[in-house]
Amino acid sequence: MDEDQSAEETTFVVEEITTVIKETVESTIGNNSYQHSKINQWTSNIVELSLSQLTKLGKPFKYIVTCIILQKNGAGLHTASSCFWDNSTDGSCTVRWENKTIYCIVSVFGLAI
Amino acid sequence: MDDDQSAEETAFVVDEVSSIVKESLEAVIGRNTYEHKRVNQWTSGVVEQCLGQLSKLGKPFKYIVTCIIMQKNGAGLQSASSCFWDNTTDGSCTVRWENKHLYCIVSVFGLAI
């Protein structure tokens, strides 16, 4: 095993991933309003782009990315998640983003191999 | 390694997991209307109950359970997820459930250790 390997290269770094996700959501949705015909594309794009950025980080992790896009019209929404994993190596991060007509919630789960 | 060990004991069985999720939803939410004060409890209750039942299965998996509860009032919602894992051993299952007043979407991801 590489003793010189920095601990950062094998842990789940929340800030790094949060930045990646925010950029992905901005570039996919930006200032657009909620359009029923486009949101399918947007959610797919967001999860795929996020996943490819994460794999480029080259860390020994399996990833799960989930994205929810919700129209702003007063409906109540609640989400929760629970994980059965290894606390010392695995981690998750959730990013909430919004514009005038849309809420977007992206969650990333990283599990060490 | 156990040659006699059935493949089922180490695979992600979608039907089994679906039934666990449906039972948890019926038990925790049932016919209740959307109540802002209780939704927090429900989402937590659903994910914890599902996770408890899944870990009792005793399979060599890490699990992630996510739950979304949304009030029925006409808003549009789209959800997507993307996974970077081992296709031969890992799997996921999403259950959509509703009653007169709310929608509930539960996703379970199982990753082999």
Q: What is the pLDDT of residue B32?
A: 87
pLDDT band at A105 (very low <50, low <70, confident <90, very high): very high
Q: What is the pLDDT of residue B76?
A: 86
The pLDDT tens digits for A2-34 are 544 455 567 888 998 999 999 999 999 988 998
The closest of B104, B89, B100 to B47, measured between CA atoms, is B104
Contact residues, chain B, for A68 at CB < 8 Å: 68, 77-79
B48 vs A: CB within 8 A? yes
Q: What is the pLDDT of residue A3?
A: 47
Contact residues, chain B, for A33 at CB < 8 Å: none
A12 vs B: CB within 8 A? no
Q: Which two tokens stand for residue B69?
A: 């509860």
pLDDT at A87 over 70: yes
pLDDT at B113 over 90: no
Residue A58: CB atoms within 10 A of its CB come to 8
Query: Which of the residues B79, B94, B108 would you substitute to probe the A interface, choosing the one with the greatest number of A C-beta atoms within 10 Å?
Result: B79
pLDDT at B2 over 60: no
B57 vs A: CB within 8 A? no
